[in-house]
Chains A and B, each alone.
Chain A
Amino acid sequence: GAVVSQHPSRVICKSGTSVKIECRSLDFQATTMFWYRQFPKQSLMLMATSNEGSKATYEQGVEKDKFLINHASLTLSTLTVTSAHPEDSSFYICSARDRWKNTEAFFGQGTRLTVV
């Protein structure tokens, strides 16, 4: 079945530094990838939608300059949390939409970000 690999699974960084999270579709082409954030005991919150070769579409309230998204190829999207602060500590999950199957149900394993 389709696999989405997200890396790293856990990261601890200092306040003020930037962290990059990668999301790769391993055996399919993903024209669209979605980035979610999940707070403890809450459901997933869509942050942005990235389309290959174009700018990401951010949801209301999500700072695009803080959460930089790049989707340079059909198999890779990255989320960079810039100048991280403790309140950015959260669980970040990507999902990918298969170019030919038009579904969005292939999720990465998630990244637990802790900013200290």
Chain B
Amino acid sequence: KNEVEQSPQNLTAQEGEFITINCSYSVGISALHWLQQHPGGGIVSLFMLSSGKKKHGRLIATINIQEKHSSLHITASHPRDSAVYICAAANYGGATNKLIFGTGTLLAVQP
């Protein structure tokens, strides 16, 4: 079993829908990242959070440390939100400081 699991793997939504992508992890972390990768390949860092909730525009990320679970929400989804969304667990200050990546969620928002 992967240390960082995402669900769903694929998601198709209609424009305007509220979208939720989930991330569960089994390792101890100090922070969790949400990343966005567009078809061209470039990666954009959306959020880094260690507790609670963060909001940026139509994107909201939450994390529950006790349950080892994080969610990424997209409100009023738009076709330009179509991308792969990746969560990554980090243990800064640990032995390696490496990120452990989830397998990604491919989101397609249809007009």
Contacts and interface: CB of A to CB of B under 8 A. Distances in A.
Interface residues of A, number: 22
Interface in A67-116: 91, 93, 95, 97, 102-110, 112
B75 interface: no
B109 interface: no
A25 interface: no
Closest 7 CB pairs of A and B: A109-B42, A107-B43, A105-B45, A110-B41, A43-B101, A43-B103, A105-B33
A102 B92 contact: yes
A32 interface: yes
Contacts of A32: 97
A104 to B, nearest CB: 6
A103 B99 CA distance: 10
Contacts of B45: 105-107
Contacts of A97: 97
Main secondary structure of the interface of A (DSSP, over half): strand
Given A103-B31, A105-B48, A107-B35, A112 B101 contact: no
Interface string B44-64: 110010000000000000000
Contact of B41 (A34, A105, A112): A112
Contacts of A102: 92-93
A19 interface: no
Interface in B1-58: 31, 33, 35, 40-45, 48
Given A107-B35, A107-B42, A49 B98 contact: yes
Contact of A46 (B31, B41, B44, B98): B98
A44 B101 contact: yes
Contacts of B102: 43
B59 to A, nearest CB: 15
Contacts of B101: 43-44
A32 B42 CA distance: 20
Nearest to A42: B103
